[in-house]
Amino acid sequence: MPKGIPNPINKVCRLRKFLHGLKQVSRQWFSKLDYTFVSLGYTLFLNKASTHITILAVYIDGILIIGSDYQEIQHVKHCLNDEFAIKDLETLHYFLGLEVSQTNQGIVVFPSQDMLLHPYP
């Protein structure tokens, strides 16, 4: 029971409203996400070891994981899936209005056609 409400017969409250859509939801989600990343050794969603680096870019419900060590990326995805039940979309094609192409020479990033047709104000 919430503090200040008498409860002489030790009853419990039943939640009638789900948190989805409330202002606290994004804060709680970010808090849990932050705790998970910190427990994995990430500070500011960046993990730099002596031989590799892994960067996590988070935007609303999307996470981009990039790095130089494939095994570390797989480890992070496994841990995130245990905590949040993520869906791995594998190869990156679009992120935050950017189109991404992978070539033998590296990665090319450019604005998507939607961004060119409807630029942000």
State what percent of residues in the chain have pLDDT above 90. 15
Burial bucket for residue 5 (CB in 10 Å: 0-12, 13-18, 19+): exposed
> Dihedral through CA 63, CA 64, CA 70, CA 74, nearest 10?
10
Would you state the pLDDT for residue 69? 93
Would you state the pLDDT for residue 109? 87
Dist. CA 31–CA 37, nearest whole Å: 10
Q: Are 35 and 20 within 8 A, CB to CB?
A: no
Q: Residue 106: enclosing H or E segment and its boundaries?
A: strand 106-111
pLDDT tens column, 31-55: 888 888 878 877 568 888 889 999 9
Dist. CA 11–CA 31, nearest whole Å: 30
Extended strands (E) in 24-78: 46-48, 53-59, 62-67
